[in-house]
Amino acid sequence: MFALIDCNNFYASCQRVFRPDLNNKPIIVLSNNDGCVIARSNEAKAIGIKMAQPFFECRALVEKYSVEVFSSNFALYGDMSNRVFSIAKEYFPMMEIYSIDEAFFYIDDSLDIDLEEYGREIVKKVLKCTGIPISIGFAPTISLAKVANKIAKKFPQRTKGTYVIDSLEKQNKALKWTKVGDVWGIGRRYSKKLIDSGIKNAYDFTMIEDSWVKKFMSVVGLRLKYDLKGVASIEIEDLRPKKTIATTRSFETTYTEFEDIRERVVTFAVVCAEKLRKQKSFTGTIMVFLHTNFHNKTQEQYSKSHVMKLPFATNSSIELAKFAIEALEKIFIKGYNYKKAGVVVMDLEPMDNYQYNLFQASNPSHQKLMTSIDFLNSTYGSQKVRLASQSQGRVWKMNQEKISPRYTTRIDEIIIIKT
């Protein structure tokens, strides 16, 4: 059996832990630079605020219903996520974190436990210790665990936060309840084609001929079909690591000089390298892109990217910064007002499986150096230790006008209780 633990309205719940006055009030959380909505409480969903909606489009609703608005606070969210899954791991040691608010667990079938009662015990323990409400779905496959979790979350009064699919009857009932567009792994394009073909729910999808699924959705769609039928066809290992990692940002102002943009691109490459090391991966390919402000119709526009196959795989900040600069040099043209750039690392592979090149390889001394830098930055604050090619007096700061305190990771922002 598999279990999927999902934190309910996670970003909003993190705010409510330290602001109980926000309970039952609509909350939204904005993306980087306060651009668009990336999280909504149930109350915010009910009044019509949409996911990924630009913030300026929903300002009227925000004012009308006194919606609480927060900038993204990933220091707080990441720490609360670690607390939730550290508790869950006490119950299920075999864990694979899927996202900041979701994790899959494998349960040995030989364990003689009542999964429903066991799940409710975990829900209570996590809520008591962290203040974060969670839902748990149990099922014989990963895809069905996702469906079970949706049911647990949709009907909290009936399920008490836990739902178990452990029979064919419950499986079919759950699949008929799940709209085909809500099936994990079926995107908008496939969803539209399926609906146009008369496929309305997940159960209908499992009844399609294999040849049709393989023709229009490839072998990946066929594996999903069998996984939903209860035949384990998707492994937890298929979920991680990420195949690509991207760090992109709009500049706070337009840049025209190469040196200014180079400093930003180096910083983006360093962030990608940190993410690679965190998931214990190397990259073999890097892409750098650059473009002007397409919303400014009075200026001449330019957009260009360059993909570079690296001579060796690496996750060293020093080496990735060097390659990123080389790529930037190939696409930068003086005379334009640049507004955005980004670095994308691709062709990822686990560090343990890396095949070393006899003649060219990443500098082995960098691994110990990067480990030390990561430790210092995690201990004393992000970007405390930087490369010389990064601006030493400049902090990479996003527009976050509505940022909440980092209650759990900064002593100077700890919650104060007046008695």
For range 354-374, the mean pLDDT: 73
- Please identify which residue in the block is written with the tokens 């095949």: 355
pLDDT for the residue numbered 352: 67
111, 123 contact by CB (below 8 A): no
Cα gap 49→52, rounded to integer Å: 9
Q: Range with the lowest mean pLDDT among 165-169, 300-304, 380-384? A: 380-384
Quick one: which of 259, 266, 258 has its CA closest to 343? 266
pLDDT for the residue numbered 110: 76
pLDDT at 111 over 80: no
Choosing among 3.30.230, 1.10.1740, 1.10.150, 3.40.50, the CATH entry for 184-240 is 1.10.150
Residues of the chain above pLDDT 70, percent: 93
pLDDT at 400 over 80: no
Q: Which of the residue ranges 120-134, 268-282, 376-390 has the most confident prediction, judged by mean pLDDT? A: 120-134
pLDDT for the residue numbered 239: 53
pLDDT at 358 over 70: no
The pTM (predicted TM-score) of the whole model is 0.69
| CB-based contacts of 294, cutoff 8 Å, min separation 6 | 301, 303
400, 71 contact by CB (below 8 A): yes
Q: With respect to CATH, is domain 245-380 assigned 3.40.50.2300?
A: no
CATH 3.30.1490.100 residue window(s) in the chain: 245-380
pLDDT for the residue numbered 220: 86
pLDDT for the residue numbered 327: 94
pLDDT for the residue numbered 143: 95
pLDDT level of residue 399 (50, 70, 90 thresholds): low
CATH 1.10.150 residue window(s) in the chain: 184-240
Q: Which CATH fold topology does 1-166+400-419 show?
A: Alpha-Beta Plaits (3.30.70)
Burial code (b: 16+ CB inside 10 Å, e: under 16) for 251-286 equals eeebbeebeebbbbbbbbbbbbbbbbbeeebbbbbb
CATH 3.30.70.270 residue window(s) in the chain: 1-166+400-419
User: What does pLDDT average to over the chain?
Assistant: 88
Cα gap 361→95, rounded to integer Å: 33
Facing residues of 363 across strands?
A: none
pLDDT at 65 over 90: yes
Residue 79 phi/psi, 5-degree rounding, is -70, -40
